[in-house]
Amino acid sequence: MASRFWKLVSQVTIWHVAASICYYAIYAGTSLFSDAFSLSGFEVGLVITSLTLGYAIFLLPLGVATDRFGEHTTLTLGLLGLSVGAFLVALAPNYGLLLVAVFVLGSAYGTATPGTNKAIFDNVRPERQHRAIGVKQIGPTIGSAVSSLLVTGLVGYLFWQAGFLVAAGVGIVCALLFYLTYGGTSAAAATYPDFGKLLSNQTYLFLVTAGVCIGAGFYTTTGYTVLYVDEGIGAAVATGGIVLALLQVFSSVGKVLSGWLADTLPGTPRRRIGAILFVQVFLGGFVFFLVTLTETPLEATVVFSVLGFLVLGSTGVYYSCISTVVPDDEIGAASSAGQFAMTFGGLLAPPVFGFLIDTTGYAAAWSFLGVLALLGSGFIALVVLTGE
């Protein structure tokens, strides 16, 4: 049984790594896009918004498709779509077509959350699901770390599109391997999600509102780390890639540790898991303000690593918390809507962040994320206080 658990979790995690190499290559490439197409901070934010918009529009439809056709099919096609998107980014001759390409790439990533969550909840025993989610969620952070080193590292030796072409190749290979080897057994096709029922759940609404704030910090931090190290600190783009990679490494540590604590700490599930989520987001809010004080690459590395452990590392336990506030038969819909809430935050925050950079400076931009994180922790506190 243990070997089956690790086989399934490994397959899903490797899929998530490959998918995230393609998806998060866009975040790692913000400085390259800025140079290649002469973009302002606001225009860089629109690249992230276009990526997130594609993700947001297709997230719920692809969640329904996953319930209907199974994660084996949708995850395979999704990874192939991500590979095509990365290839199109490399071919984009101007800013307009770059926005189209990243939209396509973001759309395909909509298979990730419903597909990988369904694989865990349908095939893993309840007492091991939270740590499985925690392990599975290191896929995006490992993928992002790899893509940051890949995209920013190869530009020094080849051309700026090289990292995106390699990411596309990795995606195609992993999609074929996943299709041929996946051993999960999908549950019977589900009925259409009842989102109206979810909207009547006040505690769930508190949690997804917090998810908007978490998503704003997650997507904006990932998208602007390399650019900040380049422009705000004055270090090389490759140094920014290393800082982004470490941000993601510590995010993985935060996800695994919080998932383990969610399964082992005493107390009712909602209270213990909600408390873990609260601590990560609340403390992370103060770390955003510390970013404004960094002046050297070493200082940036330390602060962004802590930020990764706290705010970016909270996304795994966020999904675990969702499972404690809705019935089991609503987890699929609740997870998709919860991810949509995070994506909505990621859709709106990057252009605001970029506008603040252009008009006021990085101090105001990072402080904006700090305020949002503290606001999100307040809604998480309401979830904990209403827990059983």
Instruction: Report, as ranges of residue numbers, the positions in the chain whose pLDDT lies below 50.
Output: 188
Cβ pair 366, 373 in contact under 8 A: no
Q: Where are the extended beta strands (E) located within the chain?
A: none
Tokens found for residue 281: 């987001």
Residue 234: CB atoms within 10 A of its CB come to 11
Looking at the domain assignment, is residue 206 inside a domain?
A: yes
Is there a domain that residue 254 lies in? yes
Could you tell me if 384 and 274 are in contact, meaning their C-beta atoms sit under 8 angstroms apart?
Answer: yes
Domain span at residue 309 reads: 2-181+195-385
Tokens of 34: 């800025």
**Residue 49: predicted pLDDT:** 81
What would the pLDDT profile of 273-322 be if each residue is shown by its tens digit? 888 999 999 999 999 998 888 888 888 888 888 988 888 888 878 878 88
- Does the predicted TM-score (pTM) go above 0.85? no
For residue 345, being part of any structural domain is answered with yes
List C-alpha distances in Å: 316 to 38, 113, 129, 200: 36, 11, 11, 24
Q: For position 186, what pLDDT does the model report?
A: 55
> How long, in residues, is the chain?
388
Q: Is 292 helix (H, G, I), strand (E, B) or coil?
A: coil
In a domain, 186, yes or no: no
pLDDT, tens only, 362-387? 889 999 999 999 999 999 999 888 75
**CA–CA dist 175, 208 (Å, integer):** 31
In a domain, 281, yes or no: yes
Q: What is the pLDDT of residue 126?
A: 63
Rounded to whole angstroms, what are the CA distances from 194 to 190, 329, 330, 331? 11, 10, 8, 11
Q: Which of 63, 74, 82 is nearest to 19 (CA)?
A: 82
What's the distance, CA 352 to chain centroid?
A: 19
> How many structural domains is the chain composed of?
1
189 within a domain of the structure (yes/no):
no
- 20 is written with which tokens? 């995230």
- Give yes or no for a contact between 88 and 29, defined as CB atoms under 8 angstroms apart: no
What angle in degrees, to the nearest 10, is found between the helix axes of 2-28 and 71-91? 20
CATH code, 89 = 1.20.1250.20
Instruction: Judge whether 190 lies within some domain.
Output: no
pLDDT at 80: 92
